[in-house]
């Protein structure tokens, strides 16, 4: 297990190449897209997000004019989100344990797809019920820089290069940290964000 090199950054763990077969994970994402297609969501302010999103698991994160929230049904299809693949749940559980967060049973997996110039601006994840739960993030496909701002959105962020198969686990003091993702350095990057949302 590797801890982020900067001693100021605690409770953020980088597990490099933790996914042994990332191509198989990409294949699972592509299969999930058949029942829950990727789509660009609208921010509450009316702007289109640049990454394409979908979800699997009991709860899915959505954004539209009404705000950010978790819902049990895909607004695009009217159906429940597809079941979370066992391999995703298993990986998230093992990553959280390896990072020292104990038993983690995610009920939500947001799947982000970044193509070309797609990126994600600085924000924090604040739509979950229980902030004592960690978050597990799985990077797949093209590499990208992840930016870590910490408690405040300003200042110069720490830069973390994430490659396919790298897993990051956040919790405790890092749980409400501001973060951002730069455009992929290549064709397409996928990210799984596994959360206990409900
Ligand atoms: C730090 N996605 O969907 S998870 C997101 O590459 C998001 O798609 C990133 O940020 C991506 O919200 C990777 C990074 C992440 C997620 C939750 C966090 C970082 C976090 C919660 C607290 C602190
Ligand atoms: Fe986030």
Residue nearest atom 8 in ligand 1 by C-alpha distance? 191
CA of 177, nearest ligand number: 1
In three-state secondary structure terms, 104 is coil
- Ligand 1 proximity of 183 Cβ (cutoff 6 Å): no
Q: What is the pLDDT of residue 196?
A: 95
Distance, CA of 175 to chain centre: 13
Strand extents, DSSP E, 65-166: 67-71, 108-115, 120-123, 135-141, 144-150, 158-162
Atom of ligand 1 nearest to the CA of 162: 6
Mean pLDDT of 49-53: 98
Whole-number Å distance, alpha carbon 80 to ligand 1 midpoint, is: 23
Which is more confidently placed, 39 or 150?
Answer: 39
CATH number assigned to the domain comprising residue 74: 2.60.120.590
Which is more confidently placed, 6 or 53?
Answer: 53
User: What range does the domain containing 74 cover?
Assistant: 2-195
Q: What is the DSSP string of 160-181?
A: EEE-TT-EEEE-GGGTT-EEEE
Atom of ligand 1 nearest to the CA of 110: 3
Mean pLDDT of 69-73: 97
The mean pLDDT value of the chain amounts to 94
Specify the residue for token string 């605690």.
Answer: 10
Residue nearest atom 7 in ligand 1 by C-alpha distance? 193
pLDDT beyond 90 at 173? no
- As for how many domains the chain has, the answer is 1
pTM for the whole structure: 0.94
Interval 94-153: pLDDT, tens: 999 999 999 999 999 999 999 999 999 999 988 888 889 999 999 999 999 999 998 899
Atom of ligand 1 nearest to the CA of 176: 22
Q: Which of 191, 194, 197 to mutate to test the pocket of ligand 1 (most atoms within 8 A of CB)?
A: 191
Q: What is the pLDDT of residue 19?
A: 98
Q: Measure CA of the first residue to CA of the last residue in the chain; give whole Å.
A: 28
Mean pLDDT of 37-51: 97
- Ligand 1 proximity of 175 Cβ (cutoff 6 Å): yes
């Amino acid at each position: 297990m590797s801890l982020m090199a900067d001693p100021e950054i605690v409770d953020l763990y980088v597990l490099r190449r933790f996914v042994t077969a990332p191509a198989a994970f990409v294949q699972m994402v592509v299969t999930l897209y058949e029942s829950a297609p990727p789509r660009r969501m609208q921010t509450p302010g009316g702007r289109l997000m640049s990454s394409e999103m979908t979800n699997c698991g009991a709860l899915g994160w959505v954004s539209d004019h009404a705000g950010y929230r978790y819902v049990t049904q895909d607004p695009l299809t009217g159906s429940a989100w597809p079941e979370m693949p066992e391999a995703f749940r298993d990986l998230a559980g093992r990553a959280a344990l390896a990072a020292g967060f104990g038993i983690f049973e995610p009920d939500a997996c947001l799947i982000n797809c970044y193509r070309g110039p797609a990126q994600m601006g600085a924000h924090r994840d604040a739509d979950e019920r229980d902030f004592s739960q960690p978050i597990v993030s799985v990077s797949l496909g093209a590499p990208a820089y992840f930016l870590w701002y910490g408690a405040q959105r300003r200042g110069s962020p720490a830069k973390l290069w994430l490659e396919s198969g790298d897993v990051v686990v956040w919790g405790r003091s890092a749980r409400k940290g501001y973060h951002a993702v730069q455009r992929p350095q290549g064709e397409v990057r996928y990210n799984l964000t596994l959360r206990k949302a409900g």
